[in-house]
Chains A and B, each alone.
Chain A
């Protein structure tokens, strides 16, 4: 019997020895569970019936997706709110916590059966939605990142046939690749157009590309993207980190793997948005990198330094521990915040927590937050939505699979060296994964 035949026979024997596979146990969406458990309140008459102002995708400047001024001209519209803290919220926020955040909506399906997803701007103090942002009709939003000024966000959209409201699920999309396009959202409280969504005129098309991370510099001027282009047969190309001017779309710097050996990115069509951040100096980027079959390592690269080699011109600074979920380097580069993940493993030991490791020693320094609840839960604890280079915001999601009477919980908090300050943020309808919300 040849080796191949022995392998096939063993595979058949393994299959025969398998017990029935247990059913999939998905945790409930925290927001969905809450809304299901809570009686619906009768909503008062809408004050602003025209939040949804569609994007006119006519020119390089796509358009204003939702302008508060536009509401003035809608019949029956009530008093016009302005995007200022005084007008939108009286809720106090801890010092330094941004007032606004952008979140992607939960993925949906158009009437034609194609995937759709928009985004919204909301008030972190109240959770109140201020504006809905619609992508072009052949696209859906897939990720968002924020600058440090609380007024600038960048949205990534994937565009192509079979996507968005204009697509058809029956269209043959196999020969037309999807591409990534980027938009900058700027808030200008007090201006005529307080919310502007503009396409970033980047010449590169980002087709056949998996985005691994998206980060806006603290000054809101530069966009950094780490990505991997796939060749026709899904062979991964070299991983590339690139910076662009948000104002002009001009490529500023580019670093590329000399040999495509990274396993960090996903597969074509899947973006992760969890591997890249700016440090507070506005000149250093931190990114997670895994050579094939090696432990992930956080590396840093100076954007004002020489070189174009992603490996030779960057520095490994922190080997990521095996139990560190979604590592995030702090703004000063001195520590790494780690989350935890306990999923579907029953009553396992350990609690959801956010911990800080010292970069210099690689050792655990302190527990920043530990969820006080009991065991037998599924949970994710992650610090991903950093106010670029300034503040990290943690999120802990708790669910009790199979217990309908115990709705899921999602806790947000600002992470400072000594404390975790809870924030009154509700994810509303967002699916809370890295890249789905940005403060």
Chain B
């Protein structure tokens, strides 16, 4: 485990340092949720801008990464809501991945991403945070703002549903 370097004084410097240390991981989270990198980067940028604007309200800067992760998750929920309003769900999947991602990811991985997107929201979030990103249960609970018990049940059900969907696709 590498230690994050001490951020410089001042909110801008501290938020920028946090972004440099955590943006890649958070964009990966948003990509798994949304399917394309430009939207994922927008969500992460917004999350850090929110963190920057609220830096003074953050009593303990050690909470900043957890806050950013929860904000990214919220931002992804908003994007998915907007998409579901504008585009009928049946037509959503072909657009959910960018052409670039389609070219770079093999069929096997695209199947898994498509299956993830078919999970109910809470199960999808729990599976991505717990099993794709390997976060401990308490951090998943904090990001999703649910209890650890809910994380356990949502990720268990999500994995079972995922197995079923992938089996159907074969």
Q: Does A322 make an interface contact (CB < 8 A)?
A: yes
Q: A18-B37, A292-B122 are in contact. Are A10 and B109 (CB under 8 A)?
A: yes
Contact yes or no, B104 A267, CB < 8 A: no
**Closest CB-CB distance, B25 to chain A, in whole Å?**
9
- Interface positions, chain B 48-74, Cβ under 8 Å from A, are 48-49, 52-61, 63, 66-67, 70, 74
**Closest CB-CB distance, B100 to chain A, in whole Å?**
8
* Cα–Cα distance between A435 and B57 once the two chains are bound (Å): 9
Contact yes or no, B109 A269, CB < 8 A: no
Stretch at the interface among A62-70, A104-112, A354-362, A414-422: A104-112
Contact yes or no, B82 A322, CB < 8 A: yes
Residues of chain A with a CB closer than 8 A to B92's CB: none
Contact yes or no, A17 B101, CB < 8 A: yes
* Cα–Cα distance between A109 and B6 once the two chains are bound (Å): 14
Contact yes or no, B145 A292, CB < 8 A: yes
Contact yes or no, B19 A24, CB < 8 A: yes
Q: Does A213 make an interface contact (CB < 8 A)?
A: no
Q: Does A45 make an interface contact (CB < 8 A)?
A: no
Q: Could you tell me the dominant secondary structure of chain A's interface residues?
A: loop
* Cα–Cα distance between A270 and B15 once the two chains are bound (Å): 15
Question: Which of B78, B108, B132 is the one whose CB lies under 8 Å from A11?
Answer: B132
Question: Which of A10, A162, A431 is the one whose CB lies under 8 Å from B112?
Answer: A10
Please name the residue on chain B nearest to A341 by beta carbon. Answer: B46
Q: Does B1 make an interface contact (CB < 8 A)?
A: no
Please name the residue on chain A nearest to B53 by beta carbon. Answer: A433
Question: Which of A109, A322, A431, A436 is the one whose CB lies under 8 Å from B85?
Answer: A322
Q: Does A275 make an interface contact (CB < 8 A)?
A: no
Looking at B10, B32, B45, the one whose CB has the most chain A CB atoms below 10 A away is: B45
Q: A14-B31, A18-B27, A270-B57 are in contact. Are A344 and B104 (CB under 8 A)?
A: no
Q: Could you tell me the dominant secondary structure of chain B's interface residues?
A: helix
* Cα–Cα distance between A199 and B75 once the two chains are bound (Å): 37
A-B Cβ contacts below 8 A, count: 171
Residues of chain A with a CB closer than 8 A to B159's CB: 3-4
**Closest CB-CB distance, B2 to chain A, in whole Å?**
17
Question: Which of B12, B63, B147, B163 is the one whose CB lies under 8 Å from A3?
Answer: B163
Please name the residue on chain B nearest to A27 by beta carbon. Answer: B49
Residues of chain B with a CB closer than 8 A to A109's CB: 9-10
Q: List 22 A-B contacts (CB under 8 A).
A: A13-B105, A13-B106, A16-B104, A19-B37, A23-B19, A29-B12, A106-B11, A106-B56, A115-B61, A142-B56, A163-B59, A233-B138, A235-B141, A235-B146, A235-B148, A236-B147, A267-B142, A293-B77, A343-B46, A345-B42, A431-B56, A435-B57
Residues of B participating in the A interface, judged by any CB pair closer than 8 Å: 9-12, 15-16, 19-20, 23-24, 27-28, 31-32, 37, 41-42, 44-46, 48-49, 52-61, 63, 66-67, 70, 74, 77-78, 81-82, 85, 100-101, 104-106, 108-109, 112-113, 121-122, 127, 131-133, 138, 141-142, 145-148, 159, 162-163, 166
**Among all A-B residue pairs, the 3 with the closest Cβ atoms:** A107-B56, A17-B104, A10-B112
